[in-house]
Amino acid sequence: MPGRHVARVRALYRRILQLHRLLPVDLKALGDQYVKDEFRRHKAVGSEEAQRFLQEWEVYAAALRQQANENRQNAAGKARFGTALSEEKLNDFRDEQIGQLQELMQEATKPNKQFSITESTKRKF
């Protein structure tokens, strides 16, 4: 059973990083780092917390896929990603999670990016 759990976690992790390729470059970098940190931080949690963690990331992956499809269909407009959190969901967060969310929001909405990322147009073989 633990082998299946590890495989499920790895598959979800890979799927999320693949979906992040659809994001604008600066959001991709921010999202990739956040996902890596969160998955690392939750490596040794109990089974109940692990199940909830995986369920929430599954919901995230499904929402990201849906938003990417909608953006593809609406090619004329600017791509939009994200969703508002309900008050009910926010009330479920621990203080530490609220702090992380605040930091993430500040990083994502900074007018001047702390880093510059450019996509290479050359393929590496």
Is residue 110 in a domain? Answer: no
2 vs 57, residue with greater confidence: 57
Q: What distance in Å separates the CA atoms of residue 61 and residue 38, rounded to the nearest whole number?
A: 14
Residues in the chain: 125
Instruction: Provide the domain count of the chain.
Output: 1
Domain span at 68: 2-81
Q: What is the pLDDT of residue 110?
A: 76
Q: Residue range 56-78: average pLDDT?
A: 87
Is residue 48 in a domain? Answer: yes
Is residue 13 in a domain? Answer: yes
pLDDT beyond 60 at 1: no
Are 57 and 16 a contacting pair, CB within 8 Å?
A: yes
Is residue 58 in a domain? Answer: yes
* Sheet strands (E) in the chain: none
